[in-house]
DNA sequence: GGGACAGCATC
DNA sequence: GTCGGAA
DNA sequence: TTCCGACGATGCTGTCCC
């Protein structure tokens, strides 16, 4: 198949807002691709590179060579070229990569160049990603979407499932099972503003809910096959070599083959959670692991059991999986957990866990099976919310659907000593289209200067901001930054002189 | 040897 | 990661 | 309900470059 055919399908998907029409356009391309190209085409049309990382992004594609006149490049050729580019390493690799990029892009037409650049930089915007692709695979192979979804969960990636479905239909999909050693997509949680709302979503008549502590670490899926242990992140990266103490822990469990799901987190000497940044630093570094594990050890906390000694547990009700987990994993490696027969009980557990320094809770339906890739009502997370009244210091012009609107706002806290404002971060979240329109007009009124896409404004507009916590920052002058900041509302009843101060923010850091 | 930068990952 | 819009 | 696309802060690695 030609890359131009993929570009055309992407165009067709972009051209309509109807999800069904997008699905049809993608499905047609899948059918046309044939078994050899299906996996690559499925990846491309869901905005993903099969190679995942190739060491080239926006900067490396800023200037492209002259385009070809006619489309000749095949999907397979492009895929091979990208694999080659991704494999280059060592001294001189930047130049070698640039040469290979130029060579590849010079064979593409202008439309193909634009598309491949967007694909490589993760900027494909066709209103169709993995969700539409699932439906498209089902349509193209004439198989039930639920079976595609399940196969993708178990295989971890859509491309190979698309290829299997097109080549062998339902029988081929049924061959895709849970394999110990191969990561599967982790189940995700929906979110709710408070425990009552979470209870409403997850509670089962007569059984209440299971409430888990939400630990502020990184997601961890552990596979054991005899003496071989593999550890995977939420995005299915293999991080086995980074966490030897977790490998050792898994090897002590009384089963030869198992798959467990949990969270890895660094604790301090008193057993309280360290700031997320410290867990992140430890779990993401792959050099000097031996010294690191001595100073910042990581503890696994498991909350689900997916497979044990030949038996898949995914479809069992949560309470049964959890009981089997508790039989297998010693208490120190189990996530804090309780059952609650009322929202009030669940709220008590929430407050206790937050007091212990944890991020919140995940409220779980006792009957829900393990279902990846969807944020259904089976699991619902709840975190405490903090708010501050801050002052807008500057605004950035938006892009995409926010083109022409002032979007991303720079947030500052008052410094009572100097009368200045100290920037604590930015946010573009929480604005309706109506608010976007209002703030565009408002900040153009307050404009003092412009630099690039940043509009600086007189620091007069107060905005109420919600956030999850304070992080230490080397980027911002106060040494602090807000985590997950979002707009609640603009406050016209407060002047900048009444905004919250850096001292208030500092006291929240704890 | 060490800082700057780009890319990619975590949340 | 959060959030709003849209199917 | 579900999916998509607006974009956030931070830390590590590999490479370049002085």
Spatial separation of the C-alpha atoms in residues A403 and A407, rounded to whole Å: 9
Per the listing, tokens 């080239």 go with A56
* Residue A414 CA distance to nucleotide D8 C1' (Å): 21
- Classify strands A462-467 and A421-427 as parallel, antiparallel or unpaired: unpaired
SS3 for A195? helix
pLDDT at A51: 96
Burial A270-294 (b: 16+ CB within 10 A, else e): eeebbbbebbeebbeeeeeeeebbe
Cα–chain center distance at A209? 26
pLDDT at A375: 72
Spatial separation of the C-alpha atoms in residues A142 and A457, rounded to whole Å: 56
Residue ranges of the annotated binding site of A for ATP are 212, 219, 234, 263, 303, 375, 381
Smallest CA–C1' distance to B8, residue: A53
SS3 for A165? helix
Give the other-Cβ count within 10 Å of A132's Cβ.
Answer: 22
Q: Which positions 167-226 on chain A have a beta carbon less than 7 angstroms from any atom of strand C?
A: 191, 219
- Classify strands A421-427 and A406-414 as parallel, antiparallel or unpaired: antiparallel
Q: Which positions 77-136 on chain A have a beta carbon less than 7 angstroms from any atom of strand D?
A: 89-95, 124-134
For residue A45, what are the CA distances in angstroms to A26, A109, A130? 7, 18, 8
Query: Which strand C nucleotides have any atom less than 7 A from protein CB atoms?
Result: 1-7
- A466 near A488, Cβ under 8 Å? yes
Spatial separation of the C-alpha atoms in residues A442 and A438, rounded to whole Å: 6
Spatial separation of the C-alpha atoms in residues A465 and A430, rounded to whole Å: 9
- Classify strands A379-382 and A228-232 as parallel, antiparallel or unpaired: unpaired
Residue ranges of the annotated binding site of A are 212, 219, 234, 263, 303, 375, 381
Per the listing, tokens 């089963």 go with A255
SS3 for A15? helix
Q: Which nucleotide is nearest to A435 (CA to C1')?
A: C4
pLDDT at A202: 96
Q: Cα angle vertex A35, ends A171, A127, to 5°?
A: 95
Q: Which H or E run includes A228?
A: strand A228-232
**A364 catalytically annotated:** no
Q: Which is catalytic among the residues A214, A364, A383, A426?
A: A214
pLDDT at A193: 96
- A209 near A202, Cβ under 8 Å? yes
- Average pLDDT by stretches of 10, chain A with 510 residues: 98 96 98 95 97 96 97 98 97 96 98 98 96 97 97 97 98 98 97 97 96 98 98 97 98 98 97 97 95 95 98 97 98 98 98 98 97 83 97 98 98 96 98 98 98 97 98 96 98 98 92
Spatial separation of the C-alpha atoms in residues A85 and A356, rounded to whole Å: 48
* Residue A432 CA distance to nucleotide C5 C1' (Å): 9
pLDDT at A450: 96
Query: Which strand B nucleotides have any atom less than 7 A from protein CB atoms?
Result: 5-11
Query: Which strand D nucleotides have any atom less than 7 A from protein CB atoms?
Result: 1-16
Listed residue (A182, A185, A115) closest to A149, CA to CA: A185
pLDDT at A426: 98
| C-alpha torsion A106→A111→A113→A119, nearest 10 | -160
> Hey, what are A230's tokens?
């593999």
Q: Which nucleotide is nearest to A285 (CA to C1')?
A: D12
> How many residues would you count in chain A?
510
- A301 near A261, Cβ under 8 Å? no
Q: Which positions 419-438 on chain A have a beta carbon less than 7 angstroms from any atom of strand D?
A: 425-429
Beta strand ranges found along A284-336 (DSSP E): 298-308, 311-312
Per the listing, tokens 């929430």 go with A350
**Complex ipTM value:** 0.97
Burial A161-192 (b: 16+ CB within 10 A, else e): bbbbbbeeeeebbeebebebeebbbbbbbbeb
Nucleic strand D near CB of residue A453 (< 7 Å)? no
DSSP per-residue codes, A35-69: HHHHHHHHHHHTT--TTS--S--TGGGSS-PPPPS
- A392 near A410, Cβ under 8 Å? yes
Q: Which positions 467-506 on chain A have a beta carbon less than 7 angstroms from any atom of strand C?
A: 468, 484, 486
Smallest CA–C1' distance to B11, residue: A218
* Residue A158 CA distance to nucleotide D1 C1' (Å): 22
pLDDT at A34: 87
- A135 near A13, Cβ under 8 Å? no
* Residue A168 CA distance to nucleotide D8 C1' (Å): 43
């Amino acid at each position: 198949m030609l890359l131009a055919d993929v570009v055309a399908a992407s165009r067709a998907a972009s051209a309509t807002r109807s999800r069904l029409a997008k699905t049809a356009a993608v499905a047609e391309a899948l059918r046309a691709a044939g078994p050899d190209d299906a996996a690559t085409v499925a990846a491309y049309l869901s905005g993903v590179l099969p190679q995942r990382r190739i060491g080239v992004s926006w900067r490396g594609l800023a200037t492209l060579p002259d385009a070809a006149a006619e489309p000749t490049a095949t999907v397979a050729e492009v895929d091979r070229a990208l694999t080659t580019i991704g494999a280059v390493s060592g001294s001189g690799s930047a130049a070698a990569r640039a040469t290979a990029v130029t060579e590849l892009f010079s064979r593409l037409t202008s439309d193909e160049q634009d598309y491949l650049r967007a694909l490589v930089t993760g900027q494909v915007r066709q209103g169709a990603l993995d969700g539409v692709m699932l439906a498209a695979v089902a349509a193209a192979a004439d198989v039930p979407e639920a079976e595609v979804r399940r196969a993708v969960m178990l295989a971890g990636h859509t491309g190979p499932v698309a290829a299997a479905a097109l080549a062998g239909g339902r029988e081929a999909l049924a061959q895709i099972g849970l394999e110990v050693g191969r990561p599967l997509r982790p189940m995700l949680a929906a979110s709710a503003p408070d425990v009552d709302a979470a209870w409403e979503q997850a509670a089962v008549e007569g059984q209440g809910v299971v409430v888990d502590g939400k630990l502020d670490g990184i997601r961890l899926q552990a596979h054991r096959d005899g003496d071989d242990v593999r550890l995977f992140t939420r995005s299915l990266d293999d991080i086995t070599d980074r966490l030897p103490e977790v490998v050792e822990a898994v090897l002590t469990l009384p089963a030869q083959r198992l798959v467990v799901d949990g969270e890895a987190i660094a604790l301090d000497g008193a057993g309280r959670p360290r700031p997320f940044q410290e867990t992140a630093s430890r779990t993401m570094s792959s050099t000097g692991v031996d010294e690191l594990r001595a100073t910042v050890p990581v503890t696994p906390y498991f909350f689900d059991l997916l497979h044990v000694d030949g038996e898949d547990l995914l479809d069992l009700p949560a309470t049964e999986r959890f009981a089997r987990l508790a039989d297998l994993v010693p208490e120190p490696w189990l996530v804090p957990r309780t059952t609650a027969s009322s929202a009030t009980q669940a709220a008590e557990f929430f407050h206790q866990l937050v007091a212990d320094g944890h991020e919140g809770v995940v409220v779980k339906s006792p009957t829900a099976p393990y279902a990846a890739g969807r944020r259904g009502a089976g699991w619902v997370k709840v975190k405490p919310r903090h708010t501050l009244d801050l002052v807008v210091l500057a605004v950035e012009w938006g892009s995409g659907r926010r083109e022409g609107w002032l979007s991303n706002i720079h947030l500052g806290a008052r410094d009572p000593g100097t009368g200045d404002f100290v920037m604590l971060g930015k946010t573009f979240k929480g604005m309706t289209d109506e608010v976007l329109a209002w703030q565009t007009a408002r900040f153009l009124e307050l404009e003092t200067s412009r630099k690039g896409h940043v509009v600086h404004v007189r620091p007069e507009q107060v905005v109420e901001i919600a956030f999850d916590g304070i992080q230490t920052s080397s980027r911002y002058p106060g040494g602090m930054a807000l985590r997950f900041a979002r707009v609640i509302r603009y406050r016209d009843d407060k002047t900048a002189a009444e905004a919250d101060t850096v001292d208030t923010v500092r006291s929240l850091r704890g």
